[in-house]
Amino acid sequence: MRTELVTTLKRKATDIISEINREHEPVLITQHGLPAAYLVDVQSYEGMEARLKLLEGIAKGEKAIQEGRVVSHANAKQRMSRWLD
């Protein structure tokens, strides 16, 4: 992954964004020598968002199982039939 100074981003924003869109590689932006932000292309960002939502759903499901909030297959099928029919 490439790292750029925030001042470089200010001067070369169009070029940096074009490279990000072409290569689909994030760029770490530093400010005062410290990591400040990541720049990613829209497609990569949306993919990360979708994966995060999926992982959050799985985590919620695992928590429900640990807390005993489960139903039988038949009960789940009956509940879901409202939306599937």
Residues 36 and 48 placed together within one structural domain of the fold: no
Residue 14's CATH number = 3.40.1620.10
Name the one residue in this structure whose structure tokens are 């925030």.
Answer: 6
User: What's the whole-number average pLDDT of the chain?
Assistant: 95
pLDDT digit string (tens) for 29-55?
A: 999 999 999 999 999 999 999 999 999
Q: Taking phi first (over 0 means left), then psi (-120 to 50 degrees means alpha), and beta for anything else, what does residue 81 get?
A: alpha
What is the per-residue pLDDT for 50? 97
User: Would the pLDDT of 83 be above 90?
Assistant: no
Number of structural domains (the chain) is 2
Is 85 found in the same domain as 48?
yes
Mean pLDDT of 53-67: 96
Mean pLDDT of 60-76: 93
Q: In which domain, by residue range, is 52 found?
A: 42-85
Q: What's the full length of the chain, in residues?
A: 85
Residue 74: C-alpha distances to residues 1, 43, 62, 71 (Å): 49, 39, 20, 8
Global pTM?
A: 0.74
Which tokens sit at 49?
């968002």
pLDDT, residue 85, reads 67
